[in-house]
Amino acid sequence: MYGFEAMTFNIHGGYLEAIVRGHRAGLLTAADYNNLCQCETLDDIKMHLSATEYGPYLQNEPSPLHTTTIVEKCTLKLVDEYKHMLCQATEPLSTFLEYITYGHMIDNVVLIVTGTLHERDVQELLEKCHPLGMFDSIATLAVAQNMRELYRLVLVDTPLAPYFSECITSEDLDDMNIEIMRNTLYKAYLEDFYKFCQKLGGATAEIMSDLLAFEADRRAVNITINSIGTELTRDDRRKLYSNFGLLYPYGHEELAVCEDIDQVRGAMEKYPPYQSIFSKLSYGESQMIDKAFYEEEVKRLCLAFEQQVNT
Amino acid sequence: MHLFNNHGNSFPSLLFLLKIATRGHALLKKKSDALTVQFRQILKKIVSSKESMGEIMKTSSFSLTEAKYVAGGNIKHVVLENVHTASLKVRSRQENVAGVKLPKFEYFTEGETKNDLTGLARGGQQVQQCRVAYVKAIEVLVELASLQTSFLTLDEAIKTTNRRVNALENVVKPRLENTISYIKGELDELEREDFFRLKKIQGYKKREIEKQLASAKEFEFAEKDSSQKGISRNSAHNLLSAGREKDEDIIF
């Protein structure tokens, strides 16, 4: 199944694969992190980072250095690398890469819309957006007076248009809580991405559906836990769960009626991969769930990388 | 009120003023001591508050970092954009401590903290924890603010009171005492002068009488002469026996 793609792979993807391997080598190692832990001041951190790949981005900053500057510059490195790859990519790789940024785009759109609703300045809002999620007409979001105009004027030209139309009517847009809107959009995005990967087939489909299923399930669990005790109704909750993943559909039914952490744990323990995550947490403790899921996600991403690059 | 005499002017006697000054001095000293005791207590509380504040601010900053790590770096902006008005507010009251009005701050929650769906899909727990940590930080900060303003106000009050105490002690009272002793001295001197004058006059009178007696012995008509001169023979008697008869020279 994988055999014959390897023959033609390098024509389109060879250069980029080499770049990706290079980036992989540039990630900070455990030794780097140890060094960073030993630092006493921000200048020490800058000094240590200058020996890594982040050096060139930080060396032009005058001291005293601010924590937000360091974060900004490191993000800038990520954005630069991403843009470089995007330029070099052909279809369908370029679409795939763009899909990765839709999540950030959703966040930016939601941010600007809330800011405009509360009458903040557009320039300030633009500065707060995540760089990976910028698109050209983003500044015109602030011009719209209500959600219908917003959709008609701006969003219909962005890749996010289908997510708005298939899940929300215009009345909903007006009085929906902003978080619910964000999560509905994200659900539509995940489903769309999933379909796209399935269409691509091959190794992509297999690896990505695994990762996306994990993401969908993780979001379902988080939404359940975080909405316990809030005004989110069960139906609303169910509407936010994606239509794929290990938990679909029976797990979602159980999660929708959960009212506290232990019920969630009970629902999740029927699925072996998640049971191991929940076994790390003691009863009644919910703070560590995010951390456990994060670790699991990183593990899976590493595996995906190894599989993809080393076969 | 007996500071006024019958004519309606303020006319307190110096002794009375001295009495008042002494009493006022004692009272103000007591007030100053009470204020100083309060002052020291507040100082102790300030020191412990500041230490705990350093700890709490550190923990709350770190919980904010955790929230940012899990929910994405934009969480700060999302929260900021969603907020209309503050739900935790501070108001001030006046407290009366040993006669000094000290301001005191307390915080209160107004309006429902919107039961937030922030970080619904990731990081919600961390955001809630962060909120709890910062509420605690606000508590400590408000308390510290109260303590510091009371500290400053008390400091002012103590300085004023001490100034008044010292003024009474070192200026007003000595002045009054000096005036009083001067007046006493003058009165004593007047009395002594009077006494001296009296004695002198009595001396003269005695000599006159002796002269009369001596010259009366020579003349048969001693009595007639003496009564002409206006001095009776009996006035040569011992002054001690004059207690029976009134001597017209002595006024008192």
ipTM: 0.78
**pLDDT tens, per residue, chain B with 252 residues:** 455 556 666 678 888 889 999 999 999 999 999 999 999 999 999 999 999 999 999 999 999 988 888 877 777 777 777 777 778 888 989 988 878 888 889 888 877 666 567 777 777 888 888 888 999 999 999 999 999 999 999 999 999 999 999 999 999 999 999 999 999 999 999 999 999 999 999 999 999 999 999 988 887 665 666 566 666 555 555 555 545 555 566 666
Q: Cα A296 from chain centroid? A: 15
Which residues from chain B sit within 8 angstroms of residue A128, using beta carbons?
A: 74, 77
Q: How confident is the model at residue A175 (pLDDT cuts 50, 70, 90)?
A: low
A120–B contact, CB cutoff 8 A: yes
Are the beta carbons of A174 and A147 closer than 8 angstroms?
yes
Query: Where do we find the tokens 């919980």?
Result: B63
B61–A contact, CB cutoff 8 A: no
Read off the tokens for B245.
């008869």
Closest-CA distance, B124 to chain A, in angstroms, reads 6
Distance separating alpha carbons of residues A209 and A248, to the nearest angstrom: 14
Distance separating alpha carbons of residues B206 and B237, to the nearest angstrom: 9
Are the beta carbons of B161 and B35 closer than 8 angstroms?
yes
Residues 6+ apart with CB under 8 A from B83: none
CA B203 vs CA A20, B198, B210, B227: distances in Å: 136, 8, 11, 20
A255-264: Cβ within 8 A, 24+ apart: A255/A220, A255/A221, A255/A224, A256/A224, A258/A224, A258/A228, A259/A228, A260/A228, A261/A225, A261/A228, A261/A285, A261/A286, A264/A221, A264/A224, A264/A225
Q: Say whether pLDDT at A147 is over 70.
A: no
A132–B contact, CB cutoff 8 A: no
Q: Give the pLDDT score at A144.
A: 67
Residue type, A72: E
B78–A contact, CB cutoff 8 A: yes
Q: Say whether pLDDT at A286 is over 60.
A: yes
Are the beta carbons of A56 and A39 closer than 8 angstroms?
no
Interface mutation vs chain B, best among A190, A226, A231, most B CBs within 10 Å: A226
What is the CA angle A48-A53-A56, rounded to 5? Answer: 85
Residues 6+ apart with CB under 8 A from B72: A107, B122, B123
CA A8 vs CA A92, A125, A204, B72: distances in Å: 14, 45, 15, 38
Nearest CA in chain B to A186: B121
pTM over 0.90: no
Angle, helices A261-268/A272-279, rounded to nearest 10 degrees: 140
Q: Give the pLDDT score at B31.
A: 92
Interface mutation vs chain A, best among B81, B114, B125, B130, most A CBs within 10 Å: B81
Q: How confident is the model at residue A177 (pLDDT cuts 50, 70, 90)?
A: confident
Residue type, B185: G
Residue type, B34: A
CA A192 vs CA A33, A163, A165: distances in Å: 37, 8, 13
Identify how many contiguous H helices and E strands chain B contains and give both numbers.
5, 2
CB contact under 8 A, A230 and B84: no
A229–B contact, CB cutoff 8 A: yes
Residues 6+ apart with CB under 8 A from B236: B206, B209, B210, B212, B213
CATH number of this structure's domain A201-311: 1.20.1690
B115: phi then psi, degrees, rounded to nearest 5? -70, 95
B97: phi then psi, degrees, rounded to nearest 5? -120, 110
Are the beta carbons of B87 and B110 closer than 8 angstroms?
yes
Q: Report which DSSP code applies to A131.
A: G
Q: Say whether A68 sits in a helix, a strand or coil.
A: helix
CB contact under 8 A, B117 and A180: yes
Percent of the residues in chain A that have a pLDDT greater than 90, as a whole number: 0
Are the beta carbons of B181 and B139 closer than 8 angstroms?
no
What are the residue ranges spanned by the domains of chain A?
Answer: 1-88, 91-183, 201-311
From the list A225, A231, A218, the residue with the least C-alpha distance to A264 is: A225
Cα atoms in the 13 Å half-sphere on the side-chain side of A23:
16
CB contact under 8 A, B78 and A114: yes
Q: Give the pLDDT score at A1.
A: 44
Q: Give the pLDDT score at A311.
A: 43
